Amino acid sequence: MTRITSPFGWSSTAAEVAAGHDLAGKRAIVTGATSGLGVETARVLASHGAEVILAVRDPAAAGALADEIVAAGGKATVAALDLADLRSVEAFAAAYDGAPLHLLIANAGIMACPLMRTAQGFEMQLGVNHIGHFHLTSLLLPALKAAGGARVVAVASSGHHWSDFDFDDPNFERTDYDPLAAYGRSKTANALFALELDRRCRNDGIRAFSLMPGGIHTSLGRHMTDEIRQRLGIDPAQASQYKWKTVEQGSATTIWAALGRELDGTGGLYLEDCNEALPSEEGKRVGVKPWARDAASAERLWTWTEAAIAATR
């Protein structure tokens, strides 16, 4: 198949990618819209006419963004959503009014944290980054189908290079915990989730994508230690010399995944720098690893996740 590309690239901003799109009458949910990429993603979608629901763990923290959007003539509301608690996810979905949902941006995430567990006992990175978003999407499928053309965007990461998904011990119950491996598993899960969601739901008008936003200084890295940075090959003393994206640039691929006309009629793709990612070459930090594109693993992960959630009831 021909690789899908766009006129945009590494340095493009979310506003540049969204230019020319009219989202009036469209509804979007953005998780994690209290800082960084989530804020910019929500702001750009609202500025083009979308009604945006800011789904966040701390509603008070998103109030200023909602006020800003409304003051600029946009539409935004705030709703409580704690992805680390499946009962909170269920409460969010139960409170949703059922209106057609055109865009679901699974943006919230946690990275390289110490060993912690969700309310239902899942390893925190897996629970928040994948399982919580999986459950949210599953519960909102009727609204996504009602849109008559919807996109689900899972913000993954090149961190998926660090680990395939481990079906034998996904929650580090029998093996020593490694924060980077845990993050890698969760980001591989994001890519596999989008792949399988697209396969299952494309006939209902739902297309799904995963993506690498790029290296950006945001609160996502709050758990990063010098030891972890050194494991990643980043000299803490020279970190300022690395080429980082701005938040505006880091949000661009999310916006392209949500709106890009080049992606019409396609889905299940892993995107990077506003283009379909190339296969990753050994020793390079860009591109997509084969285990994040494996259809059999994607189907297996879907089945495993459904069973894991069912077991918490």
pLDDT tens-digit map of 236-269: 555 555 688 999 999 999 999 999 999 999 999 9
Q: Is the pLDDT of residue 183 over 90?
A: yes
Give the active site residue among 96, 183, 242, 270.
183
* pTM, entire model: 0.94
| 3-state secondary structure string across the chain | CCCCCCCCCCCCCHHHHHCCCCCCCCEEEEECCCCHHHHHHHHHHHHCCCEEEEEECCHHHHHHHHHHHHHCCCEEEEEECCCCCHHHHHHHHHHCCCCCCCEEEECCCCCCCCCCECCCCCEHHHHHHHHHHHHHHHHCHHHHHHCCCEEEEEECCHHHHHCCCCCCCCCCCCCCCCHHHHHHHHHHHHHHHHHHHHHHHHHHCEEEEEEECCCECCHHHHHCCHHHHHHCCCCHHHHHHCCCECHHHHCHHHHHHHHCHHHCCCCCEEEECCEECCECCCCCCCCECHHHCCHHHHHHHHHHHHHHHHCCC
At residue 285 the predicted structure's pLDDT band, cuts being 50, 70 and 90, is confident
pLDDT tens-digit map of 195-249: 999 999 999 999 999 999 998 875 555 555 555 555 555 555 555 556 889 999 9
Is residue 183 annotated as a catalytic residue, yes or no? Answer: yes
**Residue 156 or residue 237, greater confidence:** 156
What's the whole-number mean pLDDT along residues 151-172? 97
